[in-house]
């Protein structure tokens, strides 16, 4: 039985250090919020499975191969001949600015069904089900699949976490609210930035309103300002670590993987925030969505002084 099951979209990623229109070399890898979280949890020593659909094409097989190499269970990965594997391109049109281009409309990931989500949950119930607000934005069937998966897991007593992960390129805020608010009665943990809370509730005190629905914890991230965990017992803040930021893409997913890892280890809220911010700090230290995510043995390394040579 997996510790965590993640459900969502994985894409092939192309990265260029200059404007794509100029051509030149690109780095080929994979990307996707849920698969990033899966890799992060696997590196921290947890049994984690990823469920999603990819095209029966070379990019799709690259995704499968990469996840397997990172010890992520791909039993529930579905290949389809009817759709293609999506891709995402990152380029730098100016210094310290990253631009994102997508090729994902109608991709294999958008064909996710409720039936395959339920089948995976029943075949091997996880301790935690993790979903994001990206998946329901992909299609009507993916939206139904997300809601059904969350309802099924909640009814079975499984811890359910949601990372809002709002993407304006996919849908409007009102559309996101219509899709995500029905998930609230079934959630245990919410991850969001402070500017995403109005998607989930219109209440003047959004964290209190969310906790009143039965959600156990609302985790708010604010980049360099750190992160907060809100529960019925109160609020805890943890500052961000002081590190050189090379690439912030994927930092939120790294944070989530660290937080869920500490949750699985039954650590205190303070320790959960500490591991989450440490994982996020590792991620921003180099280019790539997941390549620099830490193993459990790596976690203490950021406590050493800058310039230390480990001999």
Considering only CA atoms, which of 136, 160, 161 is closest in space to residue 147? 136
253 among known catalytic residues: yes
Report strand pairing: 11-15 vs 27-31: antiparallel
Separation between Cα atoms, residue 126 and residue 88, nearest integer Å: 29
Separation between Cα atoms, residue 244 and residue 69, nearest integer Å: 28
Q: Which single residue is written with the structure tokens 């205190």?
A: 268
Separation between Cα atoms, residue 38 and residue 295, nearest integer Å: 13
Q: Which helix (H) or strand (E) holds 27?
A: strand 27-31
Alpha-carbon distances of 1 from 5, 47, 80, 94, 296, rounded to whole Å: 10, 8, 26, 46, 21
Catalytic residue among 163, 253, 289, 298: 253
Cβ–Cβ under 8 Å, residues 191 and 163:
yes
Cβ–Cβ under 8 Å, residues 11 and 48:
no
Backbone angles phi, psi at 285, to 5 degrees: -80, -10
Give the angle subtended at the CA of 148 by the CAs of 146 and 149, to the nearest 5°.
Answer: 65
Residue 75: HSE in the Cβ half-sphere, 13 Å Cα cutoff: 13
Q: Which single residue is written with the structure tokens 């002084």?
A: 305
Cβ–Cβ under 8 Å, residues 234 and 268:
no
Catalytic residue numbers read 253
């Amino acid at each position: 039985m997996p510790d965590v099951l993640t459900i969502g979209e994985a894409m092939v990623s192309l990265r260029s250090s200059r404007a794509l229109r100029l051509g030149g070399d690109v780095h080929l890898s994979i990307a996707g919020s849920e698969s990033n979280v899966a890799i992060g949890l696997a590196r921290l020593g947890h049994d984690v499975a990823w469920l999603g659909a990819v095209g029966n094409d070379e990019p799709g097989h690259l995704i499968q191969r990469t996840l397997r190499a990172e010890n992520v269970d791909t039993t529930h990965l579905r290949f389809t001949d009817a759709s293609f594997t999506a891709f995402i391109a990152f380029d730098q049109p100016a210094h310290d600015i990253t631009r994102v281009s997508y090729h994902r409309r109608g991709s294999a990931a958008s064909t996710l069904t409720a039936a395959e989500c339920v089948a995976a949950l029943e075949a091997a119930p996880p301790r935690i089900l993790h979903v994001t607000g990206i998946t329901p934005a992909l299609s009507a069937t993916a939206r139904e699949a997300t809601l059904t998966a969350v309802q099924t897991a909640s009814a079975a007593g499984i811890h359910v976490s949601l990372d809002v992960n709002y993407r304006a390129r996919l849908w409007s805020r009102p559309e996101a609210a219509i899709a995500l608010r029905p998930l609230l009665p079934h959630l245990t943990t919410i991850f969001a930035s402070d500017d995403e809370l109005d998607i989930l509730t219109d209440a003047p005190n959004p964290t209190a309103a969310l906790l009143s629905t039965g959600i156990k914890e609302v985790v708010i991230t604010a980049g360099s300002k750190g992160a907060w965990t809100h529960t019925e017992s109160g609020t805890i803040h943890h500052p961000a670590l002081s590190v050189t930021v090379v690439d912030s893409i994927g930092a939120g997913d790294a944070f989530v993987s660290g937080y869920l890892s500490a949750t699985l280890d039954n650590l205190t809220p303070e320790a959960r925030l500490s591991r989450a911010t440490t994982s996020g700090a590792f991620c921003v230290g180099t280019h790539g969505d997941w390549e620099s995510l830490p193993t459990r043995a790596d976690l203490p390394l950021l406590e050493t002084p800058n310039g230390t040579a480990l001999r």
